[in-house]
Amino acid sequence: MASGDLLLRAHAGAPVLARAFPCRLLVLTRRRRGLVSPLTAAKVGGAAAVQKRRRRDAGESLSFSRVVTRRDAVDEDEEDVEGEALQLGAGTSGGEAGGVDGSYLSDTRFDQCAISPLSLKAVKDAGYERMTEVQEATLPIILHGKDVLAKAKTGTGKTVAFLLPAIEVLSTLPHQRNQLRPPINLLVMCPTRELANQVAVEAKKLLKYHRSLGVQVVIGGTRLTQEQRSMQANPCQILVATPGRLKDHLENTPGFSTRLKGVKVLVLDEADRLLDMGFRRDIEKIIASIPRERQTLLFSATVPEEVRQISHVAMKKDYRFINTVKEGDEETHSQVSQTYMVAPLDLHFSILHDVLKKHVAEDADYKVIIFCTTAMVTKLVAEVLSQLKLNIREIHSRKSQSARTKVSDEFRKSKGLILVSSDVSARGVDYPDVTLVIQVGIPVDREQYIHRLGRTGRRGKEGQGLLLLAPWEKYFLGTVKDLSISEAAVPSVDSSVETEVKNAVRKVEMKSKECAYQAWLGYYNSNKTIGRDKSRLAHLAEEFSQSMGLPVPPAIPRNILRKMGLNNVPGLRSS
């Protein structure tokens, strides 16, 4: 008897597995994907032990012991357990980082799965042959109809992991070609416009042969009427949206709320971000407008405990938590070297200049992203570095959408560029071959540090990360102490370079400096640690204004100071 037969009989969930992975049942009994429950393992244990001995003799690796769930991940017959966790890859032998060959790919090919021939053809055209770990882990469970909360490292193919099975679900629904306002069956929410556009591009790739299915994006940055016309001209069953604009359509686009009643699958990409306070209200409103009877998929590279606690806002009680980050492994990639530097603010421009010059000289194919704390600080840093004759592009929320799209497209395709960015590029955006990520100043939290760093080292590639802090920001290192981040020496800057940098700073317009100062103050004021002591904050803001070459800090409109709770704080000037 083959061990595959044995499993089919021994386990209630096996037929479902068989549908999703028709050729893999035998493999599942002997390889390291933890899709077999201890219960099942115990049932088949005796016979498996025989198989195991035989295979060990044949030099193959086996691993029932790697299973950590109480029961099978796709077993429909057992009672539901709230938010059951499945830690895939935990305890894998041999210390492999990712798939069998040490890459981010698993050893399962797409053509080994029960996906439709149309999707398979599109997957092949996209150049995907083997599934990534998160794709392999989530596909059968999503196809089984379960709600899923999935955590997988940055750049490991989460977009395809939710789009492909969702498209499979949609392809089984009846669709009328050329229907003017078809129901929206798949709704994907993303926190930024760039990410929404990117998800739609990936969806179009996968829909290449599903001719009756269409995808549209609603992201704002253009007039609402323009998007309304576009949705009418290009009917779609799949909608990718940012929360604010989707809410706008719900409130102002005739017939839109009726179309949303057709949602069968809801995806929250970068789920922890969408469920945090910034988006929560919009998301709750959107969820209230779509059917309760639906499948919900939450994906992110970071899933803090609070997000698991509140995931019931979106998901059914019996959702499955799939975590492909191995137990004891870091949430960042080992092939990305992480360093930090601590230096006074007035050295930051010189340090940036030095680090960039060296990096550009070392790697002709350099591609760098510099993350700054706010849009206006991003603008300032981009202007200073442009003055220093570096090849700079700038992206943040204060740029027009057309400028953002242009820069984003250019950066995706090119090499030899430095993108200075606010957090609009922090999450999800897939720029290939980024060689270095620099974060200037503390990120809003540990999660944002991980996502920003994750713009490099994608698809198993190497990369570098540098966090540049002022001495009073050093406390942040405590939140990332479990990551392999080591201190780098502050470069010594010779006086001619210092003068060159000072001249560059001097040439930047006063208006940019005033805006940067105000934004900087707002950012650190809302930081729980630094914003607590207002007079110290004013003192630090003065340091920042000096780093821009200003002997006296700019004045700030009284009403803005009041809104920030900073009126009458000594050291801050009002106008």
Ligand X SMILES: Nc1ncnc2c1ncn2[C@@H]1O[C@H](COP(=O)(O)OP(=O)(O)OP(=O)(O)O)[C@@H](O)[C@H]1O
Q: What is the dihedral of CA 269, 270, 273, 274, to 10 degrees?
A: 0
Q: What is the dihedral of CA 393, 434, 438, 135, to 10 degrees?
A: 120
Should residue 446 be labelled a site residue for ligand X when binding is judged by CB under 6 A? no
* Strand pairing category for 238-241 and 215-218: parallel
Stretch that binds ligand X, among 50-58, 90-98, 152-160, 215-223 (CB under 6 A): 152-160
For residues 152 and 469, which CB has a smaller minimum distance to ligand X in the complex?
A: 152
For residues 164 and 213, which CB has a smaller minimum distance to ligand X in the complex?
A: 164
Bridge partners of 369, per DSSP, are 419, 437
For residues 243 and 460, which CB has a smaller minimum distance to ligand X in the complex?
A: 460
Instruction: Give least dist CB 250 to ligand X, A.
Output: 26
Residues 291-320 that bind ligand X (CB under 6 A): 301
For residues 86 and 152, which CB has a smaller minimum distance to ligand X in the complex?
A: 152
Total binding residues toward ligand X, as defined by CB under 6 A: 18
Give whole-number Cα distances, 126 to 43, 197, 202, 299, 404, in Å.
41, 17, 9, 22, 26
Are residues 411 and 431 in contact, defined by beta-carbon separation less than 8 angstroms? yes
Instruction: Give least dist CB 129 to ligand X, A.
Output: 7
Should residue 159 be labelled a site residue for ligand X when binding is judged by CB under 6 A? yes
Count of beta carbons in the 10 Å neighbourhood of residue 42: 12
Should residue 158 be labelled a site residue for ligand X when binding is judged by CB under 6 A? yes
Should residue 459 be labelled a site residue for ligand X when binding is judged by CB under 6 A? yes
For residues 165 and 428, which CB has a smaller minimum distance to ligand X in the complex?
A: 428
Segments in 68-157 forming alpha helices (H): 117-125, 133-143
For residues 139 and 314, which CB has a smaller minimum distance to ligand X in the complex?
A: 139
Should residue 517 be labelled a site residue for ligand X when binding is judged by CB under 6 A? no
From the list 34, 140, 157, 441, which residue makes contact with ligand X (rule: CB under 6 A)?
157
Instruction: Give which of 323, 349, 368 is closest to 470, Cα–Cα.
Output: 349
For residues 152 and 286, which CB has a smaller minimum distance to ligand X in the complex?
A: 152
Instruction: Give least dist CB 432 to ligand X, A.
Output: 6
The vertex-467 CA angle with 466 and 473, nearest 5°, equals 165
CA distance 164 to 148: 14
HEC readout, 188-216: EECCCHHHHHHHHHHHHHHCCCCCCCCEE
Instruction: Give least dist CB 466 to ligand X, A.
Output: 19
Residues 162-221 that bind ligand X (CB under 6 A): none
For residues 13 and 155, which CB has a smaller minimum distance to ligand X in the complex?
A: 155
Residue 314 CA, chain-centre distance (Å), reads 18
The vertex-410 CA angle with 360 and 368, nearest 5°, equals 30
Instruction: Give which of 187, 182, 253 is closest to 223, Cα–Cα.
Output: 253
Token couple for 468:
């540049």
Bridge partners of 464, per DSSP, are 337, 436
Q: Please give the full DSSP string across 471-501, using - where no structure is assigned.
A: GGGGGGGGGGTTS-EEE-PPPP--HHHHHHH
Token couple for 295:
């499948």
Should residue 428 be labelled a site residue for ligand X when binding is judged by CB under 6 A? yes
* Strand pairing category for 105-109 and 186-189: unpaired
Instruction: Give least dist CB 430 to ligand X, A.
Output: 4
Instruction: Give least dist CB 95 to ligand X, A.
Output: 22
Instruction: Give least dist CB 519 to ligand X, A.
Output: 26
From the list 454, 460, 531, 554, which residue makes contact with ligand X (rule: CB under 6 A)?
454
Instruction: Give least dist CB 156 to ligand X, A.
Output: 4
Instruction: Give which of 322, 387, 311 is closest to 349, Cα–Cα.
Output: 387
Instruction: Give least dist CB 425 to ligand X, A.
Output: 10
For residues 39 and 325, which CB has a smaller minimum distance to ligand X in the complex?
A: 325
Instruction: Give least dist CB 397 to ligand X, A.
Output: 19
Q: Please give the full DSSP string across 135-189, using - where no structure is assigned.
A: HHHHHHHHHTT--EEEE--TTS-HHHHHHHHHHHHHHTS---TT-SSPPP-EEEE
Residues 230-249 that bind ligand X (CB under 6 A): none
Instruction: Give least dist CB 138 to ligand X, A.
Output: 11
Should residue 549 be labelled a site residue for ligand X when binding is judged by CB under 6 A? no
Bridge partners of 323, per DSSP, are 87, 151
For residues 375 and 450, which CB has a smaller minimum distance to ligand X in the complex?
A: 450
CA distance 139 to 21: 9
Should residue 154 be labelled a site residue for ligand X when binding is judged by CB under 6 A? yes
Token couple for 357:
């010059």
For residues 431 and 476, which CB has a smaller minimum distance to ligand X in the complex?
A: 431
For residues 188 and 287, which CB has a smaller minimum distance to ligand X in the complex?
A: 188
For residues 128 and 366, which CB has a smaller minimum distance to ligand X in the complex?
A: 128
Read off the DSSP letter of residue 553. P
Site track for ligand X across 381-420, x = CB under 6 A: ----------------------------------------
Site track for ligand X across 99-138, x = CB under 6 A: -----------------------------x--xx--x---
From the list 34, 83, 98, 155, which residue makes contact with ligand X (rule: CB under 6 A)?
155
Are residues 282 and 247 in contact, defined by beta-carbon separation less than 8 angstroms? yes
From the list 156, 296, 337, 448, which residue makes contact with ligand X (rule: CB under 6 A)?
156
Residues that bind ligand X (CB under 6 A): 128, 131-132, 135, 152, 154-160, 301, 428, 430, 454, 458-459
